[in-house]
């Protein structure tokens, strides 16, 4: 049996209204790989808000951003979430920031604007591809 070429790593998190300046570890890369997809699925609908919302970042190491999403403001930059429907984040590939080395820690951080806006229970899925199918 051959080695896996892709894997989906999942975490169910409760993202509270007061999540601010926290970095929650999602996983540690066990071998070199590349993040190809990130999706959030919320348990309940969350409409974007204009002044009270959260900005979520999936990153690695000390500050490298792999993907972002936010539930506000009401402009085009905000995202409303439909219950039990995956919402994809745009994966950053500039400077190969989405490539992971063995031991890289991938994390989720949240920064609140105003009072924040709770996402509640959220499924965070990160799809990784291993070198055998990572050719660009």
Is CATH 1.10.287 correct for 12-130?
Answer: no
Question: Mean per-residue pLDDT for 68-97?
Answer: 89
Quickly state the pLDDT bin for 133 (edges 50, 70, 90).
very low
How much is the pTM? Answer: 0.86
Say how far apart CA 56 and CA 66 lie, in whole Å: 11
Question: Mean per-residue pLDDT for 43-61?
Answer: 89
Considering only CA atoms, which of 55, 91, 90 is closest in space to residue 72? 55
Quickly state the pLDDT bin for 135 (edges 50, 70, 90).
very low
Say how far apart CA 8 and CA 133 lie, in whole Å: 15
pLDDT for 2? 58
Q: Go through 78-103 and write b for each residue having 16 or more CB atoms within 10 A of its CB, e for each that does not.
A: bbebeeeeebebebbeeeebbbbeee
Please provide the DSSP assignment of the chain as one string: -PPPSEEEEEEEEEE-TT--SEEEEEEE-SS-EEEEEEEEEESS-B---SSSEEEEEEEETTTEEEEEEES--SSTT---B-TT--EEEEEP-GGGTTEE-TTPEEEEEEEEETT----EEEEEEEEEE-GGG---
Domain positions in the chain are 12-130
């Amino acid at each position: 049996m051959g080695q896996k070429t892709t894997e989906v790593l999942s975490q169910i998190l409760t993202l509270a209204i007061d999540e601010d300046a926290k970095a929650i570890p999602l996983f540690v890369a066990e071998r070199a790989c590349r993040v190809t997809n990130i999706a959030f699925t919320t348990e309940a609908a969350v409409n974007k808000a204009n002044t009270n919302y959260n900005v979520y970042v999936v990153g690695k190491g000390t500050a490298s951003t792999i993907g972002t999403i936010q539930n506000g403001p009401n402009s085009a930059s905000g995202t409303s979430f439909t219950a039990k429907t995956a919402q994809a984040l745009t994966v950053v590939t500039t400077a190969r920031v989405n490539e992971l080395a063995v031991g890289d820690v991938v994390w989720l951080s949240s920064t609140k604007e105003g009072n924040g806006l709770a996402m509640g229970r959220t499924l965070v899925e990160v799809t990784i591809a291993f070198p055998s199918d990572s050719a660009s």
